[in-house]
Structure 1
Amino acid sequence: MSSAAFAPASIAVSDLRLERGGKTVLTGFSLTVEPGEALVLLGPNGSGKTTLLRALGGLVRPLRGEIGMDPQTVAFLGHADALKPSETVEQSLQFWAGLYGGDASQLDAVMVQMALAHLARRSCGTLSAGQKRRTALARIALSNRPVWLLDEPAAPLDARSRERLAALVQSHCQAGGSVIAATHVDLGWQGARVEDLRPAPTQTAAGVG
């Protein structure tokens, strides 16, 4: 679900070159993402997915190229769920909604959508990996930011929770938001565009088996 209180934002990337650990992971990379669109970056570890997401979020400086978007429009979900173990699920979501300037009145509805209502008073430190991920996704939904950058968002989720994630993304896009997700598996998001970052297969020399 989405309160649609944000202003939709476009994303434009041109001739980007990115390095990680002194090694080039992307070069000459360009893309555009319009409001209402979901883009899935598909590729194995080391293909540059996470580095690209971090660059889009203003966390990594490109060696070359331009990124046409404001980092203040972004809600970022990395591998870590960013939850304090001592806080309850409800307290954590209230904190993040306030930090982002989101709509706290949507808290109960988002918890229901992500199957967290019965965990509202559980401390985050006692949650399973899937429950933590659902809580982290709920904080993104409460962020009031038009652009969601999600790194392996479905990794610890079961099939039902993946369906909830897909519905959450669809709702955000229908409200004019944009989603870019990095993954090494098919997320099954209906209507999403896929950017394949997997390296091209090496061509064998003629006559060599």
Structure 2
Amino acid sequence: MQHAVVQSFPMLEARDLACLKGDRLLFHGLAFRLQAGGLLRVAGPNGVGKTSLLRLVTGLALPEAGELRWRDRSTRREREAFHAELLYLGHAPALNDLLSPLENLRFACAAAGDEVDEEACIRALERIGLARQLDLPARVLSQGQRRRVGLARLFLSAARPLWVLDEPFTALDVHAVADLAATLSAHCAGGGMVMLTTHQDAPFATPPAVLDVGAFAC
């Protein structure tokens, strides 16, 4: 039984983080813990450092002070092992406008080191509602459809326990928001973890814990 496993440490932990952007210290003393099955919403006013925090967590930026730990090990010292268990989707869809959704998805998976065949990519795009747009160039897609191309990676990344998502609900209609919330809830129910930013209310199966970055602002 999956729930019989008891861990004595949080899967992801931030200790006394400080973030410097340019010459401005955005926040300091920030700390949180995220256990298996946890859903954490990063909140706060615009400009407080929500996206900057996600970049620290994913290793795209380094903290001015403090430490991030994964499975009780420093993410900086165990960078490759940590990234193998992490999926990060940024705020802007990273698409090549000349490529189709299928080509973009296959490229994104390959770049992340995921061995995913074409049929699996097709099923993921169909699951996200892009069955009719598989072979169209990305430049003709709507903003919501462009967002869905990136989100299709969720259906190919169940083996990556930690999902870090920056504004994943942007440009989605109400039905797509509900479907995505169900996908994220199911990932957590299966022992995964989700850390996200969002300005929208979403119908999660269980309300997320909230980390207010503004409480640590300088």
TM-score category of the 2 structures, normalised to the smaller one: 0.7 to 0.9
Match of 2:212 in 1: 196
Find out whether 1:52 has 2:77 as its counterpart.
no
Superposed CA deviations along residues 147-169 of structure 1, whole A, max 9, x for unmatched, are 11111111211111111211221
Q: Which amino acid aligns with 1:141?
A: F
Secondary structure of 1:28 counterpart: strand
Select the residue among 155, 166, 170 that pairs with 1:151. Answer: 166
57-66 or 74-83, which deviates more: 74-83
Secondary structure of 1:36 counterpart: coil
Distance (Å, rounded) in 2 between the aligned partners of 1:168 and 1:19: 34
Distance (Å, rounded) in 2 between the aligned partners of 1:162 and 1:180: 16
Match of 2:192 in 1: 177
Q: Which amino acid aligns with 1:120?
A: L
Identity percentage of aligned residues:
33
Contact 2:122-2:134 within 8 A present in 1 as well: no
Secondary structure of 2:169 counterpart: coil
Q: Which amino acid aligns with 1:58?
A: G
Moved over 4 A (4+): none
Gaps of 5+ in 2: 1-9, 71-81
TM superposition shift of 1:199: 5.2
Aligned length, in residue pairs? 192
Contact 2:147-2:171 within 8 A present in 1 as well: yes
Are residues 185 and 26 of structure 1, via their aligned partners in 2, closer, same or farther at CA, if it must alter by over 3 Å?
farther
Gaps of 5+ in 1: 1-8, 201-209
Q: Which amino acid aligns with 2:209?
A: R
Are residues 47 and 186 of structure 1, via their aligned partners in 2, closer, same or farther at CA, if it must alter by over 3 Å?
farther
TM superposition shift of 1:176: 2.3
TM superposition shift of 1:195: 1.8
Select the residue among 124, 132, 149 that pairs with 1:110. Answer: 124
Match of 2:86 in 1: 74
Find out whether 1:35 has 2:31 as its counterpart.
no
Secondary structure of 1:166 counterpart: helix
Distance (Å, rounded) in 2 between the aligned partners of 1:167 and 1:113: 13
105-114 or 147-156, which deviates more: 105-114
Q: Which amino acid aligns with 1:193?
A: A
Are residues 198 and 190 of structure 1, via their aligned partners in 2, closer, same or farther at CA, if it must alter by over 3 Å?
farther
Secondary structure of 1:97 counterpart: helix
Match of 2:74 in 1: none
Q: Which amino acid aligns with 1:171?
A: A
Distance (Å, rounded) in 1 between the aligned partners of 2:203 and 2:20: 29
TM superposition shift of 1:139: 2.3
Are residues 188 and 47 of structure 1, via their aligned partners in 2, closer, same or farther at CA, if it must alter by over 3 Å?
farther
Match of 2:99 in 1: 87
Q: Which amino acid aligns with 2:140?
A: T
